[in-house]
Amino acid sequence: MTTIALKNVLAKAGLKTDPTEFLALVEDAAKRLTPPSPNPAHYFSPEQREALQDVGLDLAPASEDDRDARARAVAAHAVLADSALTVAEAATLLGVDDSRIRHRLKEGRLTGWKAQGGWRLPAWQFTPSGVLPGLDVVLRAVPEDQPALVVAAFMSTPQTDLVINGRPATPRQWLLAGGDPEYVAELAAVLGTPV
Q: Based on the domain organization, do 77 and 111 belong to the same domain?
A: no
CA 13, 14, 19, 25 dihedral sign is negative
Q: Based on the domain organization, do 139 and 179 belong to the same domain?
A: yes
pLDDT, residue 186, reads 94
pLDDT, residue 40, reads 67
Compute CA distances 178 → 29, 40, 104, 133, 173, whole Å: 34, 39, 22, 7, 9
CB 77 within 8 A of CB 29: yes
pLDDT, residue 133, reads 95
Q: Which amino acid is at 138?
A: V
Q: Based on the domain organization, do 143 and 185 belong to the same domain?
A: yes
Domain-embedded: residue 57? no
Low-confidence ranges of the chain (pLDDT < 50): none
Domain-embedded: residue 54? no
Domain-embedded: residue 50? no
pLDDT, residue 64, reads 61
Strand partners of residue 119 = 114
- Taking residue 51's Cβ as centre, other Cβ atoms within 10 Å add up to 22
Domain-embedded: residue 59? no
Domain-embedded: residue 52? no
Domain-embedded: residue 164? yes
Count of domains observed in the chain? 3
Q: Based on the domain organization, do 176 and 188 belong to the same domain?
A: yes
pTM of the full predicted structure? 0.64
Q: Is 18 helix (H, G, I), strand (E, B) or coil?
A: coil
Q: Based on the domain organization, do 138 and 180 belong to the same domain?
A: yes
Q: How far is it, in rounded angstroms, from Cα 193 to Cα 195?
A: 6
Its domain, for residue 14, covers: 2-45+64-81
Give the N- to C-terminal CA distance of the chain in Å, as an integer: 46
Residue at a domain's end among 96, 129, 162: 129
Q: Based on the domain organization, do 73 and 90 belong to the same domain?
A: no
**Helix spans in 57-170 (H):** 70-83, 87-94, 98-107, 135-141, 148-155
Query: HSE on the CB side for 65, CA within 13 Å?
Result: 0
Q: Based on the domain organization, do 164 and 95 belong to the same domain?
A: no
pLDDT, residue 12, reads 72
pLDDT, residue 91, reads 95
pLDDT, residue 30, reads 64
CB 169 within 8 A of CB 162: yes
Q: Based on the domain organization, do 112 and 159 belong to the same domain?
A: no
Domain-embedded: residue 116? yes
Classify residue 36 by its DSSP letter: P
Q: Based on the domain organization, do 144 and 165 belong to the same domain?
A: yes
Q: Based on the domain organization, do 139 and 77 belong to the same domain?
A: no
Q: Is 127 helix (H, G, I), strand (E, B) or coil?
A: strand
pLDDT, residue 194, reads 66
Domain-embedded: residue 72? yes
